A and B are shown apart, each in its own frame.
Chain A
Amino acid sequence: MDQAFAQRRRRDLIVAACLAGLAALVPLFVKDVYYQNIMVLTLMYAALSQSWNILSGYCGQISLGHALYFGLGAYTTALLYTKFGVLPWFGMVAGGLISALVAMVLGYPCFRLRGHYFVIATIVIAEITLLLFQNWDWAGAALGITIPMKRDSWLTFQFARSKLPYFYFALALACIAWFVTWWLEDSKWGYWWRAVKDNPDAAESLGVVVFNSKMGAAAVSAFLVAVGGGFYAQFVSYIDPESVMGFQFSLLMALPAVLGGIGTLWGPALGAVILIPLTELTRSYIGGSGRGVDLIVYGGLIIAISLARPQGLVSLFARKPKADARPVREAVAS
């Protein structure tokens, strides 16, 4: 591997560690619960979008149905706890494993589909699951599940008074999702995924097992998103099908990555840090919910970014091209 690349990866890791350290200090200064709530959501969406990015960004299989895995994680965690008393820590892992399994079972037929046929299949499958959960009486049907609040405890991961434990969990989740991406980026899988994204036929002919690559990406992606779903169930302590499996989650997972830069290491985090506070704040200052102001902000941003910066905002931070990559005129002048 060439040295500049190794150096860049080391630098990425150091920058990430510093940013995580700084982020961990923020709630010590920002004590307002409203702002802490926004920070928790921002970190959660950073983690979710980072996970979505593995399948849709790196591997190029655009999923607009990831709410399915988010919902499965939330439901597994909540159902295991309320019905069987299984602690949410195990519930989150169980939810992750179930989702990874589901992702592979669904991937088996779906990964034969290409382009729009695939995108629509992901939407449709998430929608079917949503409808089934709305009619599944044992799981609370459309009314959902309330997770009973007992007392603040790390064991059951519930905290009525403080947002801090949620904040640190969400931070840890975002760090894990980032680190998994960082680690996979330079693994065999990472190269396979990019090859599959760029040209599946060429990749296949060069010996990349395209199908397995997609399956691997789907499983990792679904696992992490489901853990996020389990976390969300604990955080809001009430879930129903529409609020954890609705299409808006599929969208909200994709948007930060689209905004920040699809298929990039830093894109999802950057996108989440801009998008989530922006919409939360506009919602509370301008509109109030139900007026659609958040949708106007999202929609306007997506159009503007995808037209003006198709590589995402992260490209603004890209270093200047090397001397030999400059336009001829400029090179001659210097």
Chain B
Amino acid sequence: MGPGVRQDDIETGLEHGAKPVTAETIIQSLASGLLMGLLYGLIAVGLALIFGLMDVVNFAHGEFLMIAMYVTFFLFAYFALDPLLAAPLVAAALFIFGAVVYLLIVRFAVRAKANTGMVQIFSTFGLAVLMRGLAQYFFTPDYRSVTHSWLGGKTISVGGIYLPEPQLVGALIAIAAFAGLYFFINRTDFGRALEATREDAGAVALVGIDKNKVFALGWGLGAALVGLAGAVMAIFFYVFPDVGASFATIAYVTVALGGFGSVFGAFAGGIIVGLVEAVTTLILPASLKTVGIYAVYLLVVFIRPRGLFGSI
């Protein structure tokens, strides 16, 4: 695979390296790619949800993930709480955080009279930079990790294919979360209010739905989903202030691949991204593995400027 492997390759826990490409390694990579892809989908779905609701891209989405991972880490470090047990708490914390971000920042950004598009981009962008700075200041730039957990470092063998347990459980959680989200959007009052608001925010006001409340809850829900993803990620990935940055780009690509605003496009986009990453690592040096994902993004939007499942 050449001498190109220079970066610390800690990112996904996929199998990398200079092994010969055989049928077995291909299946092995695709299997771990699929698991990672489902997790990517879970990371990205909050972004898609919020965009679908109010046409705003949360450029601080990666930092939401970072905060979730830190919350998981500190729950582990101070209360010895396993990340799996911590996950609901982390999701709840992020729910509140997301709603607060909407009420304090985004609510005003969408009201801006001049340069509305720019204000939306740069206000959440500013939040991302601020959160990263605060994390560096309070948590230091050190890499931390959840050193022992129920699943950490374990693998399970399914028909000769080794699957890392954290990713496997993460993928299952992702599937459950998507199923739950589907049920939620289609079967509950709040879900219907969410759908109605994304269809026509002006009309829902007429039937007595408070647009702001729906938006705040939408931001809370989006953040809670990325919180769930963060709790799983913390099991097998380092926690540091910039951790969100690389996953954020992947999340944007995932969402854009599926088509902005399409919640289940994010699910499909995640799987595609995971598989593409797995294939890329088979043929390119590990330090180039995100190139494949980015190239696929460009390819898709050049052919379909609204993504695979995007409307309009």
Supposing A141-B6, A301-B126, A307-B105 touch, asked if A295 and B136 sit within 8 A by C-beta, the answer is yes
Quick check: B117 and A307 within 8 Å, CB to CB? no
Bound Cα distance A124, B135 (Å): 25
Instruction: Check if B129 is an interface residue, CB within 8 A of chain A.
Output: yes
Quick check: B290 and A292 within 8 Å, CB to CB? no
Checking B3, B51, B301 against A113 with a beta-carbon cut-off of 8 angstroms, the contacting residue is: B301
Q: How far is the CB of A194 from chain B (nearest CB, A)?
A: 13
Q: Residues of A contacting B114 with CB < 8 Å? A: 310-311
Instruction: Tell me the nearest residue of chain B to A263, going by C-beta.
Output: B115
Instruction: Check if B113 is an interface residue, CB within 8 A of chain A.
Output: yes
Q: Residues of B contacting A121 with CB < 8 Å? A: 297-298, 301
Instruction: Check if B156 is an interface residue, CB within 8 A of chain A.
Output: no
Question: CB within 8 Å of B: which of A115-159?
Answer: 115-117, 119-121, 123-125, 127-128, 131-132, 134-135, 137, 141-142
Instruction: Check if A300 is an interface residue, CB within 8 A of chain B.
Output: yes
Quick check: A290 and B126 within 8 Å, CB to CB? no
Q: Residues of A contacting B256 with CB < 8 Å? A: 116-117, 120
Quick check: B57 and A117 within 8 Å, CB to CB? no
Chain B positions 284 through 295: 1 when the CB is less than 8 Å from some CB of chain A, otherwise 0: 010110110011
Binds A, one of B66-74, B146-154, B193-201, B245-253: B245-253
Bound Cα distance A301, B307 (Å): 33
Supposing A120-B253, A299-B129 touch, asked if A291 and B137 sit within 8 A by C-beta, the answer is yes
Instruction: Check if B132 is an interface residue, CB within 8 A of chain A.
Output: yes
Checking A123, A135, A290 against B141 with a beta-carbon cut-off of 8 angstroms, the contacting residue is: A290
Instruction: Tell me the nearest residue of chain B to A57, going by C-beta.
Output: B118
Instruction: Tell me the nearest residue of chain A to B6, going by C-beta.
Output: A142
Q: Residues of A contacting B258 with CB < 8 Å? A: none
Bound Cα distance A295, B129 (Å): 6
Quick check: B118 and A310 within 8 Å, CB to CB? yes
Q: Residues of A contacting B105 with CB < 8 Å? A: 303, 307
Q: Residues of B contacting A128 with CB < 8 Å? A: 291, 294-295
Quick check: B290 and A127 within 8 Å, CB to CB? yes
Supposing A123-B249, A124-B253, A293-B137 touch, asked if A62 and B298 sit within 8 A by C-beta, the answer is no
Q: How far is the CB of B277 from chain A (nearest CB, A)?
A: 13
Bound Cα distance A21, B112 (Å): 37
Quick check: A124 and B294 within 8 Å, CB to CB? yes
Size of the A side of the interface (Cβ < 8 Å), in residues, is 49
Q: How far is the CB of B62 from chain A (nearest CB, A)?
A: 12
Q: How far is the CB of A68 from chain B (nearest CB, A)?
A: 13
Chain B positions 135 through 147: 1 when the CB is less than 8 Å from some CB of chain A, otherwise 0: 1110001000000
Size of the B side of the interface (Cβ < 8 Å), in residues, is 55
Instruction: Check if A287 is an interface residue, CB within 8 A of chain B.
Output: yes
Quick check: A306 and B130 within 8 Å, CB to CB? no
Checking B126, B245, B290 against A247 with a beta-carbon cut-off of 8 angstroms, the contacting residue is: B245
Bound Cα distance A301, B130 (Å): 9
Instruction: Check if B79 is an interface residue, CB within 8 A of chain A.
Output: no
Residues of A within 8 A of B (CB): 62, 109, 112-117, 119-121, 123-125, 127-128, 131-132, 134-135, 137, 141-142, 247, 251, 254, 258, 262-263, 287, 290-304, 306-307, 310-311
User: Could you list some 15 contacts between A and B, CB below 8 A?
Assistant: A114-B305, A116-B57, A120-B253, A125-B294, A134-B7, A142-B7, A258-B118, A290-B141, A293-B133, A297-B133, A300-B126, A300-B130, A302-B129, A306-B119, A307-B108
20 further contact pairs, Cβ within 8 A, besides A263-B115, A292-B136: A112-B305, A117-B307, A120-B253, A124-B249, A128-B295, A134-B287, A135-B287, A135-B288, A141-B4, A142-B6, A251-B125, A251-B129, A295-B133, A295-B136, A296-B130, A298-B126, A306-B119, A310-B113, A310-B115, A311-B115
